[in-house]
Amino acid sequence: MQPCTPPAEAKTPQDVLVVGGGIIGLVTAWRTAQRGLSVAVVDPEPGGGAAQVAAGMLAAVTELHHGEQTLLGLNLASARRYPDFAAELAEASGREVGDAGDAGGLGYRACGTLAVALDSDDRAHLRELHALQRRSGLESEWLSGRECRRLEPMLAPGVRGGLRVDGDHQIDPRRLAAALLVACERAGVVFHRAWAERLSVVRDRARGVVLADGTELHAAQVVLAAGSLSGRLAGVPDDVLPPVRPVKGQVLRLRVPKPYAPFLSRTVRAVVRGSHVYLVPRENGELVVGATSEELGWDTTVTAGGVYELLRDAHELVPGITELPLTETRAGLRPGSPDNAPLLGPTRLPGLQLATGHYRNGVLLAPLTGDVMAHCLTTGELPAEALAFTPARFTAPPPPIPAQSFTEQPA
Ligand code: GLY
């Protein structure tokens, strides 16, 4: 474990203290430091957590769900920022935007996505999704099974049709987190490699955090960006604590040996018997297969059942995967929120802001979250594009029901 920042520096008050050094915490810290504020991040292992598990699909269109139109707007806004964001981050961290082999690179790939159907139920589901995408003005093309296989020859002969979405890309979250860490350090962000045990609240205002060893860190503003752990920080008043819960995802990593490459040229995904499965091919030969979605609290065990189901479903889509070496199995926790959307910006407790609850879209929403949080921290206000994602939506009392609703009969 790396040593903590020395106590003298630890006690220097910062403008902003970010609790959580995952992708969301790091991007918040980087963007805020770029605006001239002094920033510190508290995390025992910055760049760890869900960033080490996630596949990194930037799937605003193929992960669209009924009832999530507002979230779609946010997701699309972030997807549009990705090319410039990746270029700026690559420059700031001294990397390439794409793969760049062992030398690093963000692994950003504008490869597109193919969502396929294996049976008539899947096809009906995909037709529904296609209709929703079109009603939402999104670009998505229906392909026959033969057309799908022409694009991706490794697909199973039984594929019945699919949706080609060229706008859904990918990035390698591990490389993204590593680059953000470097960009933060270069922008002067201070790291405290320790657990934040408790939020300090003095005279009804957040003033910093207390670390596990008792060290107190002070800041003018605190951002709670601790992913699935965000709902557990002691000291946060109950009516401010974000309603975030862990949603487990098991993910596999395989390796495509050189003679097989390119095995798949784009992300391939499907809903098989009601479960999502996706295969995300990296330029460096890694093939990520995910992901289960399990409401099991804080459990991060990789189970035989989870691995079996992922491999079974992935094998139905792309039979050739059973030839590939399985290099890693891992489980992480998504920060789920009651409406599957993030909580961004100021809370009722002065001095405390939230950047959490990104659920399935943390990697996708990184560019937008960084910009939104830097704006909030420098101006105290949520920008218009993020107003619908205020934490207040879960704490504001419901509007009163007019008395006439109980007395008037319909005409
Ligand atoms: N967005 C992919 C997942 O959460 O599994």
Q: Of 290, 377, 303, whose CA–CA distance to 32 is shortest?
A: 377
- Prediction pTM value: 0.93
Model pLDDT for residues 66-88, shown as the tens digit of each residue: 999 999 999 999 999 999 999 99
Indicate the residue type of 56: G
Atom of ligand 1 nearest to the CA of 249: 5
- Kindly tell me the burial class for residue 27, based on how many C-beta atoms sit within 10 Å of its own C-beta (0-12, 13-18, 19 or more): buried
Q: In the chain, pLDDT over 70 holds for what percent of residues?
A: 92
Centre of ligand 1 to C-alpha 263, Å, is: 22
**pLDDT tens digit at each of 411 positions of the chain:** 444 444 444 456 899 999 999 999 999 999 999 999 999 999 999 999 999 999 999 999 999 999 999 999 999 999 999 999 999 999 999 999 988 766 579 999 999 999 999 999 999 999 999 999 999 999 999 999 999 999 999 999 999 999 999 999 999 999 999 999 999 999 999 999 999 999 999 999 999 999 999 999 999 999 999 999 999 999 999 999 999 999 999 999 999 998 776 799 999 999 888 888 999 999 999 999 999 999 999 999 999 999 999 999 999 999 999 999 999 999 999 999 999 999 999 999 999 999 999 999 999 999 999 999 999 999 999 999 999 999 999 986 656 666 655 545 444
The partner residues of 49 in beta bridges, in order of sequence, read: none
Pocket of ligand 1 (CB under 6 A): 57, 63, 249, 290-291, 334, 360
> What is the reported pLDDT for 274?
81
Write the CA distances from 338 to 201, 321, 324, 359, integer angstroms: 26, 36, 38, 10
Q: Which of 247, 334, 363 to mutate to test the pocket of ligand 1 (most atoms within 8 A of CB)?
A: 334
- CATH fold of 14-52+175-244+339-406: FAD/NAD(P)-binding domain (3.50.50)
Domain boundaries, given as residue ranges, for the chain: 14-52+175-244+339-406, 113-166+246-336
- CATH fold of 113-166+246-336: D-Amino Acid Oxidase; Chain A, domain 2 (3.30.9)
| CA–CA gap between residue 224 and residue 233 (Å, rounded) | 9
Assess contact for 189 and 33: CB atoms under 8 A: yes
- Kindly tell me the burial class for residue 302, based on how many C-beta atoms sit within 10 Å of its own C-beta (0-12, 13-18, 19 or more): middle
> What is the reported pLDDT for 45?
98
Check for a shared fold between 14-52+175-244+339-406 and 113-166+246-336: no
Centre of ligand 1 to C-alpha 311, Å, is: 17
- Kindly tell me the burial class for residue 46, based on how many C-beta atoms sit within 10 Å of its own C-beta (0-12, 13-18, 19 or more): buried
Centre of ligand 1 to C-alpha 329, Å, is: 16
Half-sphere exposure of 137 (CA within 13 A, CB side): 4
